Structure 1
């Protein structure tokens, strides 16, 4: 990797993830544009129109994860750029559920290709500091949501401009990351570098530990992204500007991920995950009983809980099941996004027919289950390490 410009590739990767994250925040703001008070879709219909952001992401990650070793990281990265460009343009042209669905599908595929290509690239470039660098990379997911939330608030709520201008802002980081990747030499994935066979890679994703982590990923992703994606509907009756709560949550997440290296040194990945589940549960429970300014306190607790979920789930697999390679990371990310595609219409139906508070109560059950699962994971990893030392 002597001729690979690690710093430039890492910065370009962060900007590509910034685009991914901004689409999440801007899509959350579009809920009111296309909803009952705007174009006239029900919240359940919007939930279905938004689902391709997650199952498109899932398909792109899984197929991208399979192909990244053979086609190379570079080709998958440029597929991300092209589908991002199509999705953003189509969003500008969307006028009903069908067109919004198709626009969201291309955005989702672009987002999935970003993760499919760039997670394994960073794991390969920084093989000695995977958890630290993957957390630093994933700073830009909450960071991008903060930026996207503030952009949406300023353009639509403060300046009173059109939603098309808000969406058009996405072209700026899109062009920047395209130019930064242009002409660069990309590294090979870690699995290719280690010479791990396809047979061993596919066998590794059938291991009980990997399957267990996939199940956990369903719950961690739904807890984090399901709640954040529907923040407008969940909190509009308890706080004046829900999008600012979203920015607040993700600001805390970005700051936390910047210091992930120190935290993981003390807790280890499995300890970080248990810590996260406890705070995520407490935060969601507090959101059901608070309103006004106290909502920000509950949101802060929730933010502490979800800060390390996504990158630490990925780094756990990269560290303890490295032979799973890009495929393993893609299956994990794909499982997470697929779970969100399932939870969004369910949440929309609950909010349409009952209340937002009921949706929050149901969501709080997910981290409660995770607490039990991560306690079991910590016990298992302690025994595994003890047995390894004894051998």
Structure 2
């Protein structure tokens, strides 16, 4: 029998479906962060007021756990499942995850367990999104991987902007119930499912090239240099995403300006700049572009540690934004270009490294922050005696923020030498 003709791929539609999926994942991240305090007060304080802070931290952390696990499992099986089914699974998670959070209040003593399950499932949606859209876009635009992946990932900060502003609007202006905010990502989740069902998705680049499943799985282990990029991704995510999750905890108390609004400002810069990544990469190469960005990233993180007002915080955040805006998508493109046989598995592995960074670096930042508070105050009893809002407490928190940001500012300094070394050794080689 003659083979059936393959359905035509609407490249533009697939790109914008990918945009909607990533935007929804980012919106959900911002909404979870924005509603965390209200969820803690409404759902967890009545259960265990003493440990409710630790409990909400665990709940939020489980979304990153779901992200990491689904990314690791789905990536090598993407072409077996089909990218369309994976996107539909992501849409399912974007709907059911927040729905479970909303339903948790009616589960009695199981509230904490239901919240944890809800966050893992919500994180699955994020992981399924990253596992599918990155290799699909790399396949659809083989000659402009860096440019298109950066343009796609510009919609991550766009989702953070919308979610961050809505959080401020809901809680600080309109005084609305936190459940309305948590329910918002259900709307784009449903739209994503309806839109994705109408289109055919391509197979990934490695499958089209005839690379077998076993070859794809073996590629990172046959080429040890792959693990250099795995380690680099751990560091780049630590410089970008970990401080992004940390600014609200630290800056709100120390500069008299909402840390969420600082993150919104940074995200706006990232949204614009990522659309210029393709032209910059063609001028400098991907490693050259990443090497240049480490300098403003280090300067920005250090200046955030010394910020004492809204103006100085925004000035520092500008440097940081210009430094980290290209890191995540350019790293994905760099791996797709250098290790094409690794296919979605290779891209998924480096994304998994980024997820691990968020999971492990944030608690370390918190520990450094807490230790600095104790050291500055003169011990646990002295810290407990300080009243919120006093100059003494402000000085303690400012010192803790300074210490934590100065610690993470070391990471882009390390990356300066790492990217420089890779760029130097690759000179003259065709890595485009």
TM-score tier after normalising by the smaller chain length: over 0.9
| Structure-1 residue corresponding to 2:240 | 224
1:259 is the counterpart of 2:269: no
Q: Deviations over 1:320-376 (max 9, x none)?
A: 111110100111111101211112222233334432332212211222221121111
Q: Which whole-Å deviations, capped at 9, do the CAs of 1:46-104 have from their partners, x for residues lacking one?
A: 43322222221111111111110212111111111112222121233456654433222
Go from structure 1 to structure 2 and tell me whether the alpha carbon gap of 1:106 and 1:272 turns closer, same or farther (over 3 Å shift): same
Matched, 1:284 2:294: no
2:91 is the counterpart of 1:73: no
Shift in Å at residue 200 of structure 1? 2.7
Match of 2:380 in 1: none
Structure 1's unaligned 5+ residue stretches are none
With over 3 angstroms needed to count, the CA separation of the structure-2 counterparts of 1:48 and 1:255, relative to structure 1, is: same
Which residue is 1:177 aligned to?
192
Q: Write the distance in 1 (CA, Å) between the matches of 2:292 and 2:96.
A: 39
Determine the C-alpha separation between the residues in 2 that align with 1:264 and 1:295.
29
Counterpart for residue 47 of structure 1: 57
| Contact persistence 2:305–2:404 (CA under 8 A) | no
CA contact (8 A) 1:12 1:177 kept: yes
> Highest relative contact order (Cα 8 Å, sep 6+), 1 or 2?
1
Alpha-carbon distance in 2 for matches of 1:282, 1:28: 26
Secondary structure of the residue aligned to 2:135 is helix
Higher mean alpha-carbon deviation, 95-104 vs 279-288, is at: 95-104
Task: Give the 5 Å matches for 1:50-199.
Answer: 50-94=60-104, 98-199=113-214
Q: Distance in 1 between matches of 2:364 and 2:56?
A: 11
| Residue 330 (structure 1) aligned to one of 336, 348, 356 | 348
Distance 1:144 1:220, change over 3 A: same
Give the counterpart of 2:320 among 283, 299, 302.
Answer: 302
Residue of 274, 278, 282 corresponding to 2:291: 274
Match of 1:311 in 2: 329
Could you give the per-residue CA deviations for residues 193-219 of structure 1, whole angstroms, max 9, x where no partner exists? 111123332232122221000001111
- Alignment partner of 1:346 out of 344, 351, 364: 364
Q: Distance in 2 between matches of 1:368 and 1:53?
A: 29
CA distance in 2, matches of 1:164, 1:239: 27
Aligned-pair CA distance for 1:8:
1.3
Instruction: Write the mapping of 1:227-246 to structure 2, written as runs, cut at 5 A.
Output: 227-237=243-253, 238-246=255-263
RMSD: 2.1
Superposition deviation, residue 36 in structure 1: 7.9
Aligned CA distance change for structure 1 residues 240 and 32 (closer, same or farther; 3 Å):
farther
Residues of 1 paired with 2:23 and 2:148: CA distance? 16
Q: TM-score, normalised by structure 1?
A: 0.93
Indicate the SS of the match to 1:188.
coil
SS in 1 for 2:230: helix
Given that 2:94 and 2:185 are in contact with CA atoms closer than 8 Å, whether structure 1 keeps it comes out as: no
Q: Is the 8 A contact 2:7 2:200 kept in 1?
A: no
Higher-Rg structure is 2
Change (3 A) 1:347 1:36: farther
The number of residue pairs the alignment matches comes to 386
State how far apart, in whole Å, the 2-side matches of 1:29 and 1:117 are.
27
Question: How far did residue 43 of structure 1 move?
Answer: 5.1
Q: Who is 2:413 aligned against? A: 368
Question: Take 1:357 and 1:333, find their aligned partners in 2: how far apart are those partners?
Answer: 29
Contact 1:80 1:110 in 2 (8 A): yes
Structure 2 equivalent of residue 16 of structure 1: 21
Q: Normalised by the size of structure 2, how large is the TM-score?
A: 0.84
* 1:211 equivalenced with 2:227 (yes/no): yes
- CA distance in 2 between counterparts of 1:167 and 1:370 reads 37
TM-superposed deviation, 1:129: 1.4
Contact 1:136/1:257, CA 8 A, preserved across alignment: yes
2:95 and 2:190 in contact (8 A); partners too: no
Question: Is the Cα contact below 8 Å between 1:350 and 1:356 reproduced in 2?
Answer: no
Deviation (angstroms), 1:240: 2.0
For 2:296 and 2:137, locate their aligned partners in 1 and report how far apart those are by CA, in whole Å. 28
